Amino acid sequence: MQMTKCLDTDIRPDKCILARERIKNGLLRRMDTLRHAIKESSCKHMIHGIIVFLEEYIKVHLSEEERAMRHYGYPSYFPHKEKHERFAAGTLALKEELLELRAPGARGAYELSVKTVHMVVDWVNDHVTKDDKEFCWFLGHRFF
Ligand SMILES: [Fe+2]
């Protein structure tokens, strides 16, 4: 799985909206793939890769976004960072649930996959398309 290619770590005022769209599309594309796997009953083979992708997204993208917010003096930095931390905590909970599924005879990949799709789609709708866009608007107004 090519994880880092959709992650834009170079957040500049003139590239911000394009970067957000690329990230949003990367997240939604993976959720579409996971939804398809749920329907095909093959999600148990995919959920690990999706959670690894989310961890990479948090480590690379969210950290970089926070760095850019500090760099440009974004006034909503702390509430925005708090939302990142909640998403990271949610992803960690998914990972812990996944580790429990590795026990012999354990079941639950379907439920975990559905939960993952809901969490990520909510994140895209509530955060990426609103909060991240506000940051882009801040950069646009400040620098153009
Ligand atoms: Fe964000």
Question: What pLDDT, on the 0 to 100 scale, is given for residue 5?
Answer: 35
Question: What pLDDT, on the 0 to 100 scale, is given for residue 76?
Answer: 97
Residue 144 inside a domain? The answer is no
Report how far residue 97's alpha carbon sits from residue 73's, in angstroms, rounded to the nearest whole number. Answer: 37
Residue 8 inside a domain? The answer is no
CA–centroid distance, 21 to ligand 1, in Å, is 13
CA–centroid distance, 128 to ligand 1, in Å, is 6
Residue 119 inside a domain? The answer is yes
- Which CATH number covers residue 64? 1.20.120.50
Residue 70 inside a domain? The answer is yes
pTM passes above 0.85 = yes
Residue 5 inside a domain? The answer is no
What integer is the mean pLDDT of 110-121? 97
**Which residues, in sequence order, are CB contacts of 102 under 8 Å at separation 6+?**
none
Question: What pLDDT, on the 0 to 100 scale, is given for residue 8?
Answer: 44
Report how far residue 57's alpha carbon sits from residue 8's, in angstroms, rounded to the nearest whole number. Answer: 10
CA–centroid distance, 105 to ligand 1, in Å, is 38
Report how far residue 27's alpha carbon sits from residue 31's, in angstroms, rounded to the nearest whole number. Answer: 6
CA–centroid distance, 57 to ligand 1, in Å, is 11
Residue type, 144: F
Question: What pLDDT, on the 0 to 100 scale, is given for residue 11?
Answer: 65
Question: What pLDDT, on the 0 to 100 scale, is given for residue 143?
Answer: 64
CA–centroid distance, 43 to ligand 1, in Å, is 27
CA–centroid distance, 6 to ligand 1, in Å, is 15
Residue 82 inside a domain? The answer is yes
> Model confidence at 140, in pLDDT bands (50, 70, 90)?
confident
Residue 7 inside a domain? The answer is no
CA–centroid distance, 100 to ligand 1, in Å, is 29
Owning domain of residue 97:
14-139
What integer is the mean pLDDT of 18-28? 89
Per the structure, the count of domains in the chain is 1
pLDDT 10s digits, 65-92: 999 999 889 999 999 999 999 999 999 9
Question: What pLDDT, on the 0 to 100 scale, is given for residue 105?
Answer: 66
> Model confidence at 3, in pLDDT bands (50, 70, 90)?
very low
CA–centroid distance, 33 to ligand 1, in Å, is 23
| N-terminal to C-terminal alpha carbon distance within the chain | 37
